[in-house]
Amino acid sequence: MVIDDEPDINSVIKKGLNRNGFEVETFNDPLQALSNIKAGFYDQLLIDIKMPRMNGFELYREIKKIDSKVKVCFITALEFYYDEFRRVFPKLNINCFARKPISVDEMANIIKEELEN
């Protein structure tokens, strides 16, 4: 599942990941994405951090209440540092961050690595 409030980004990621053998659902609205989460259904979520109505970290917390085992990778165009994330959110167990712009091939490789871990 890809959750990003920019429809063009969702479209590009979906097409590219489909070409790399992934089945992908996309959502532009984090609340709509949350209503579609089912425990054990998704292997990997790609979540934009900065979105209206609910940011990616808030969405992550709510999703983990439904499916504690789903893997999550945050995607962002923001200047974002992992150490700062750890300081602000010390209890969140996230190790995957992808910085936009990112090629679809890079994204596919990140997903493959995450799924192997």
Report the residue count for the chain: 117
Instruction: Give the pLDDT confidence score for residue 80 in this predicted structure.
Output: 57
Contacts of 25 (CB under 8 A, 6+ apart): 1, 2, 36
Instruction: Give the pLDDT confidence score for residue 41 in this predicted structure.
Output: 96
Q: What is the pTM for the complete model shown?
A: 0.82
Alpha-carbon distance of 105 to 97, in angstroms, equals 15
pLDDT exceeds cutoff 60 at 81: no
Q: Which amino acid is at 29?
A: D
Q: Give the dihedral of Cα atoms 7, 11, 12, 17; nearest 10 deg.
A: 130
pLDDT exceeds cutoff 70 at 28: yes
Q: Rounded to 5 degrees, what angle do the CA atoms 113, 92, 25 make?
A: 50
Instruction: Give the pLDDT confidence score for residue 34 in this predicted structure.
Output: 97
Instruction: Give the pLDDT confidence score for residue 88 in this predicted structure.
Output: 61
Instruction: Give the pLDDT confidence score for residue 104 in this predicted structure.
Output: 83
